[in-house]
């Protein structure tokens, strides 16, 4: 397995940043804006679409990457994320990056994301399966039904250490690690890019104001 290498700007061609990947960027932006953050950290700068659009919408965005060519705000290795300090960002985004590290390191990486965030973390990871699309007309409107069938194939040698949906214990270990640090607010496969699975996570110890109020009322009544 190749060690994660800094990406160059020339990597982000239209073949890589295709229509499906741009829909993944759209979902990242949509989920982030729905949380109404003032500050966001994007771990893995990429081509800059997500960060630049969030800035356009008035969000203060910081980026972190190991590639100096991508000009991140923080030139850091993922494992050094803790050096930025705890609870620094309202939302932390980390998409299509975790799979580049061994599963044995997943808990440590999730701990770093949790530490950097005040409340929310948005991640996406690859979910391998066979995609089946069926088109049909319903009341003169074209509908497309998309299905994802789990694949029995093993992970091929390459850039990813693991992918959900593959043979093995990646699914179990992934969600086991997630549940140590977060509650899952959303978990879905992108309908326009079914290779990407996105999760909106909230830190386990964070209680919203309404939840705190309800908990205090319960305590008062007991």
Closest by CA position to 35, among listed 202, 188, 215? 202
What are the domain boundaries of the chain? 9-126+156-221
Kindly give, in sequence order, each residue whose CB lies less than 8 Å from that of residue 164, ignoring residues fewer than 6 positions away.
Answer: 125, 126, 127, 128, 170, 171, 174, 197
CATH number of 9-126+156-221: 3.40.50.150
13-41 tens-digit pLDDT: 667 677 888 899 999 999 999 999 999 99
**C-alpha span between 166 and 154 (Å, rounded):** 6
**C-alpha span between 21 and 195 (Å, rounded):** 10
pLDDT greater at residue 209 or residue 47: 47
Length reported for the chain: 222
79-108 tens-digit pLDDT: 999 999 999 999 999 999 999 999 999 999
């Amino acid at each position: 397995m190749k060690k994660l290498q800094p990406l160059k700007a020339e990597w982000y061609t239209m073949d890589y940043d295709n229509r499906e990947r741009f829909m993944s960027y759209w979902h990242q932006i949509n989920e982030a804006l729905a949380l109404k953050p003032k500050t966001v950290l994007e771990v893995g700068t990429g081509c800059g679409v997500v960060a630049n659009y969030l800035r356009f919408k008035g969000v203060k965005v910081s980026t972190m990457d190991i590639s100096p060519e991508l000009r991140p705000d923080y030139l850091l290795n993922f494992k050094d994320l803790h050096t930025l300090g705890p609870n620094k960002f309202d939302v932390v985004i980390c998409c299509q990056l975790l799979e580049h590290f061994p599963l044995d390191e997943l808990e440590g990486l999730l701990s770093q994301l949790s530490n950097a965030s005040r409340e929310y973390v948005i991640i996406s990871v690859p979910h391998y399966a066979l995609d089946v699309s069926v088109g049909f007309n319903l009341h003169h409107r074209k509908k497309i039904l998309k299905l994802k069938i789990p694949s029995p194939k093993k992970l091929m040698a390459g850039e990813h250490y693991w992918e959900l949906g593959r043979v093995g214990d990646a699914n179990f270990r992934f969600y086991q690690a997630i549940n140590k640090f977060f509650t899952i607010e959303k978990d879905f496969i992108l309908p326009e890019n079914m290779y990407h699975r996105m999760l909106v996570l909230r830190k386990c110890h964070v209680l919203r104001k309404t939840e705190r109020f309800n908990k205090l009322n319960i305590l008062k009544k007991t």
